[in-house]
Structure 1
Amino acid sequence: MTTDTPYQLAVVISSVREGRFAPVVANWFLERAKQRDDVTLSVIDLAETPDGLASGVASADAVVVIVPEYNHSYPGPLKTALDATSREWHGKPVAFVSYGGISGGLRAVEHLRPVFAELHAATIRETVSFPFVWNHFDADGRHDGSEGAPLAATTLLDQLNWWANALRDARRVRPYAA
């Protein structure tokens, strides 16, 4: 799926723990997104630039949050970063790439959906989820080649393209007012 004007996609890496697995998952997703001609990418790594979330989201047309599941929910530093933002999210689509143990991070995603609703963002249905994430990547961070996650990433990016363009066009015609 392509469009004449690529949309600006901010990819948020939300884990800040030492020894985190987030860069492996993020690099895998970014490689897929870079293969598309309908998107321009930026990366916001909360471990490196926790204060960069607001400006990164403000300049984006859409956001993908790379999120692990910690204690059946999402990381505390992500909550802190989200609480420090507001209008930057208004009328923008948000998608999730999650990872963890048996649930693949989906409990974290389900806890994030109402938070983003409160921020007036639209979460999309499609997700990429890695249950038992360490079984999907080798020691060098290479994906195991299974087809499920790449197909899910393509579907997510296709849907996000539609939402990003539709909401970007809508915000241009009628600025979002909460």
Structure 2
Amino acid sequence: MTPLRLAVIVGSTRESRTGDRIGRWFVDRARRRDGLAVTVVDLADHDPGAQRPGRAAAAAGSFVAQLARAEAFVVVTPEYNHSFPGSLKQAIDHAYDEWQAKPVGFVSYGCGSIGLHAVDQLRTVFTALHAVTMRDVVGVDLLDGAPSPWAADECERAADVLLDQLRWWGLALRDGRAARPYVS
């Protein structure tokens, strides 16, 4: 069977971000799985600038092309002020068809809330884009800017559950899209 193409999107672009480290941890875990071909899409490498989605810059075009190749997504997102970063929303809005009938999972992080406020809002956005969001989330609580060491086992178990769900949905939706075009 052809491996499921999973794109892990690192959604923070701040200079002193934690998302790149959490993203690397998740990608390493995902790459140990059979049946997944994992790529990293770091928004820090794709600066769409202040252009409107209909006039995407070259970097945004590269971002959209990577989304088009993917069959499933994991969004690594921080929680800023009970929401997700504006740069992530802008990047999401540069695509439309590329999200349709594909599963989206979340790895979130924050202080106290483990980023769940951001995930709740992202679920609404991805539902509007006709994507299927996964129920389970990997939530990382930050302690002084770093993941809490006590949560390592819990995060690893949550990552395994999320990857199982993504693979199941990703394969089912891939078969569905092959059998008939998605109607939006």
- TM-score, scaled relative to structure 1: 0.91
2:116 to 106, 127, 131: 106
Residue of structure 2 in register with 1:58 after alignment: 68
1:131 is aligned to 2:141: yes
Q: Which runs of 4+ in 1 moved over 4 A?
A: none
Unmatched runs of 5 consecutive residues or more in structure 1: 138-142
1:80-107 CA distances to partner (integer Å, 9 max, x unpaired)? 1111210111100000000011101110
User: What SS does structure 1 have at the residue aligned with 2:7?
Assistant: strand
User: What SS does structure 1 have at the residue aligned with 2:138?
Assistant: strand
User: What SS does structure 2 have at the residue aligned with 1:126?
Assistant: coil
Verify the 8 A CA contact 2:18 2:146 in the aligned structure 1.
Answer: no
1:30 to 27, 32, 40: 27
1:95 to 85, 105, 109: 105
1:21 is aligned to 2:18: yes
- Whole-angstrom CA distance in 2 between matches of 1:144 and 1:103: 16
2:38 to 19, 37, 41: 41
Alignment identity in percent?
Answer: 46
- Whole-angstrom CA distance in 2 between matches of 1:158 and 1:24: 22
1:74 is aligned to 2:71: no
* CA shift in 2, pair 1:95/1:107, >3 Å: same
- Whole-angstrom CA distance in 2 between matches of 1:105 and 1:161: 23
Residue of structure 2 in register with 1:172 after alignment: 178
Residue of structure 1 in register with 2:159 after alignment: 153
User: What SS does structure 2 have at the residue aligned with 1:125?
Assistant: coil
- Whole-angstrom CA distance in 1 between matches of 2:3 and 2:150: 30
- Whole-angstrom CA distance in 1 between matches of 2:78 and 2:45: 17
Deviation at residue 146 of structure 1 after TM alignment = 3.0
Name the count of aligned residue pairs. 170
Deviation at residue 144 of structure 1 after TM alignment = 6.3
Unmatched runs of 5 consecutive residues or more in structure 2: 48-59
- TM-score, scaled relative to structure 2: 0.88
RMSD across aligned C-alpha pairs, in angstroms? 1.4
Deviation at residue 18 of structure 1 after TM alignment = 1.1
1:127-173 CA distances to partner (integer Å, 9 max, x unpaired)? 10001254536xxxxx6673100000000001111000000000000
* CA shift in 2, pair 1:97/1:145, >3 Å: closer
User: What SS does structure 1 have at the residue aligned with 2:24?
Assistant: helix
Residue of structure 2 in register with 1:5 after alignment: 2
Structure 1 counterpart of 2:155, one-letter code: A
Flag the structure with higher helix content: 2
